[in-house]
């Protein structure tokens, strides 16, 4: 049985309740996306489902064999890739370890009998095909054949996370719990994972900030809102539409009741002291019946992101890069790269982690000197940069400012009303505007940097993985803001929906270590690339 059941599950931290008396069943053959904005409790609920955290009340029932995507790559650095994948079947791995240890001991009748039992377990778990099965999974995740028998520490970090994903799906688990599985994966590996999940017969519970992935994979949405989990059949976009309509209906009903109550109260006030006592009593009972309950506040919130270009129009060419070279410790990352970026270009930068996307964007943004070559800004080009590492802009450890004061420092002569407006658009309302910068979460820090970009004027935006730490609605708003921006954008991201909505040109860091400039949107690039590799 591969059903996952949550019964009367509640979780509270002090006086704050994340969810209360949750009852939900995750069925086999269905793929459930666990959604909710940052801070709603997705990570907490996921940990409760996987058994890594206990609920305040209630219980969780899961199948005997589950696959869980772990993020603890350091624990596996000295193991070979195939061994790490095989660990996904704990019963098989423990049996293999015990068998190998017994073979080192003196052979006795007792040892021989135990070895016979262990070989039986290995056969039950299809252990004699484990290595070849692991190799198939690793190959599907884009791991080169010559790397399959290396130790984890000998391959790039992004590939190590891909190995842990293989570990989660190894051994035919009855249910899969995947927390942000597309992180660190290139588009080819994501496509392979999507196809695997389509054919997977068990129960899938997944979290992701990748809207395209969720819309492609999810058959159902389990959304954390109103202090509970609400089940919506269909894709993420279908859920957002249904949720918005439901909220609008509830608000309209509440307003209608308030209007009716006002009319009834007017009648009571007019005739309360008169001869129509029975009618007054009837109206008062009606008032009590119509009294609307307080609408719980929904957590579906979308920032409003609109970037204002500089009032000084730039020339035709915004940026030139000529023969850029950059390497680290004798490893060549960027070699002989040349590009000319024109006004109005919207360029998406794609490719697996570790191939040089951040290095290139830092050089284009003037944050990193190339070993050779030159980067030049065009006439009246005004550049604004969003770094992957927020600390490149905000040093939280040494920042004594609150969010409001930090924004004031970003633009000379700015009015308080302008700062309030930028913060409000990025969901810093009320006292949130005066939160200490050093105490902001990753998502709040990203939104603060975007608020500074809203506040200032520019005509060239360079953004490196801006969707990291943002929830799905914020990423959607960012995509809209960048697509509506009339000037020039360069954005690196693994989020296909973001690149789809923004880019009309592509810089692709391909697996052969080549950097290709493609004059067209992502879908056209992918079609051409797939034709070439067939």
30 or 239: which leads in pLDDT: 30
140, part of any domain: yes
CB contact burial 130-139 (16+ within 10 A = b; e otherwise):
beebbbebbe
437, part of any domain: yes
460, 462, 468, 470: CA torsion to nearest 10: -10
301, part of any domain: no
Asked if the model's pLDDT at residue 135 lies above 90, the reply is yes
174 band by pLDDT with thresholds 50, 70 and 90: very high
pLDDT at 295: 46
The mean pLDDT of 113-132, rounded to a whole number, is 92
Stated pTM of the model: 0.76
Last residue of a domain, one of 238, 260, 277: 238
273 band by pLDDT with thresholds 50, 70 and 90: low
Residues 409 and 463 in one domain: yes
pLDDT in tens, 432-465: 999 999 888 888 999 999 999 999 999 999 999 9
243 band by pLDDT with thresholds 50, 70 and 90: confident
pLDDT at 78: 94
Are 473 and 225 spatial neighbours (Cβ–Cβ below 8 Å)? no
**What are the CA-CA distances from residue 81 to residues 136, 159, 173 (Å)?**
12, 10, 19
pLDDT at 291: 67
Residues 115 and 250 in one domain: no
312, part of any domain: no
296, part of any domain: no
H helix runs in 66-156, sequence order: 81-86, 90-103, 109-124, 130-140
263, part of any domain: yes
309, part of any domain: no
18 band by pLDDT with thresholds 50, 70 and 90: confident
Asked if the model's pLDDT at residue 374 lies above 50, the reply is yes
403 band by pLDDT with thresholds 50, 70 and 90: very high
pLDDT in tens, 31-61: 999 988 777 788 889 999 999 999 999 999 9
Residues 408 and 340 in one domain: yes
pLDDT at 446: 93
pLDDT at 232: 92
The mean pLDDT of 455-477, rounded to a whole number, is 91
The mean pLDDT of 376-382, rounded to a whole number, is 94
Region of poorest pLDDT, from 249-253, 298-302, 375-379 = 249-253
111 band by pLDDT with thresholds 50, 70 and 90: confident
Residues 286 and 427 in one domain: no
Residues 259 and 191 in one domain: no
180 vs 177: CA distance, rounded Å: 10
pLDDT in tens, 487-504: 999 999 988 899 999 999
Asked if the model's pLDDT at residue 258 lies above 90, the reply is no
CATH of residue 30: 3.40.50.300
Residues 411 and 522 in one domain: yes
Asked if the model's pLDDT at residue 248 lies above 80, the reply is no
The mean pLDDT of 395-420, rounded to a whole number, is 90
Residues 52 and 112 in one domain: yes
Asked if the model's pLDDT at residue 337 lies above 80, the reply is yes
Residues 42 and 162 in one domain: yes
Q: What share of the chain in percent tops pLDDT 90?
A: 58
The mean pLDDT of 159-173, rounded to a whole number, is 92
CB contact burial 501-528 (16+ within 10 A = b; e otherwise):
bbbbbbbbbbeeeebeebeebbeebbee
506 closest CA partner among 350, 341, 363: 350
Residues 52 and 175 in one domain: yes
470, part of any domain: yes
Mean pLDDT of the chain: 88
272 or 491: which leads in pLDDT: 491
Q: What share of the chain in percent tops pLDDT 70?
A: 92
Domain count, the chain: 3
Asked if the model's pLDDT at residue 362 lies above 70, the reply is yes
Q: 483: domain range?
A: 317-533
Residues 234 and 248 in one domain: no
Residues 251 and 386 in one domain: no
Last residue of a domain, one of 197, 220, 238: 238
Residues 194 and 337 in one domain: no
């Amino acid at each position: 049985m591969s059903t996952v059941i949550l019964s009367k599950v509640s979780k509270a931290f002090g006086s704050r309740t994340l969810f209360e008396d949750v009852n939900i069943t995750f069925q086999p053959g269905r793929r459930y996306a666990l959604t909710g904005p940052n801070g709603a409790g997705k990570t907490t609920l996921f940990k409760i489902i996987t058994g890594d955290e206990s609920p305040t009340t209630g219980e969780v029932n899961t199948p005997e064999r589950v696959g869980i995507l772990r993020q603890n790559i350091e624990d596996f650095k000295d193991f070979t890739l195939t061994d790490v994948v095989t660990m996904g079947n704990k019963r098989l791995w423990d049996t293999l370890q015990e068998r190998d240890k017994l073979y080192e001991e003196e052979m006795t009748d007792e040892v021989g009998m135990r070895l016979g039992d262990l070989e039986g377990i290995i056969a039950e778990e299809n252990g004699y095909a484990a290595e070849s099965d692991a190799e198939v999974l690793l190959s599907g995740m884009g791991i080169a054949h010559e790397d399959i028998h290396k130790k984890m520490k000998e391959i790039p970090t992004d590939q190590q996370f891909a190995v842990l994903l293989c570990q989660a799906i190894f051994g035919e688990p009855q249910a899969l719990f995947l927390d942000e599985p597309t992180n660190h994966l290139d588009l080819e590996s994501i496509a392979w994972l999507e196809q695997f999940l389509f054919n997977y017969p068990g129960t899938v519970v997944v979290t992701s900030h990748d809207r395209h992935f969720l819309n492609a994979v999810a058959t159902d949405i389990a959304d954390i809102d109103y202090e509970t989990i609400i089940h919506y059949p269909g894709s993420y976009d279908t859920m957002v539409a249904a949720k918005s309509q439901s909220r609008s209906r509830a608000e309209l009903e509440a307003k209608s009741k308030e209007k009716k109550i006002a009319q009834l109260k007017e009648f009571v006030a007019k005739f309360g002291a008169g001869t129509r006592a029975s009618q007054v009593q009837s109206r008062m009972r009606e008032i009590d019946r119509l009294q609307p309950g307080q609408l719980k506040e929904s957590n579906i919130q979308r920032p409003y992101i609109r970037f204002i270009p500089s009032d000084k129009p730039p020339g035709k060419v915004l940026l030139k890069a000529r023969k850029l070279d950059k390497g680290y410790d004798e490893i060549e990352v960027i070699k002989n790269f040349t590009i000319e970026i024109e006004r109005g270009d919207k360029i998406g930068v794609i490719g697996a982690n570790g191939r040089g996307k951040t290095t290139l964007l830092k050089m284009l943004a003037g944050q990193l000197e190339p070993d050779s070559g030159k980067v030049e800004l065009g006439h009246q080009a005004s550049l604004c940069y969003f770094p992957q590492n927020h600390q490149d802009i905000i040093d939280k450890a040494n920042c004594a400012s609150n969010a409001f004061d930090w924004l004031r420092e970003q633009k000379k002569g700015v009015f308080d009303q302008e700062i309030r407006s930028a913060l409000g658009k990025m969901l810093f309302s009320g006292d949130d505007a005066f939160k200490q910068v050093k105490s902001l979460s990753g998502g709040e820090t990203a939104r603060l940097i975007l608020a500074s970009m809203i506040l200032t004027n520019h005509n060239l935006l360079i953004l490196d993985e801006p969707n990291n730490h943002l929830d799905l609605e914020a990423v959607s708003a960012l995509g809209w803001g960048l697509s509506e921006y009339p000037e020039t954008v360069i954005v690196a991201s693994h989020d296909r929906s973001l690149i789809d909505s923004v880019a009309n040109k592509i810089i692709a860091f391909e697996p052969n270590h080549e950097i290709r400039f493609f004059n067209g949107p992502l879908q056209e690039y992918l079609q051409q690339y797939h034709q070439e590799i067939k």
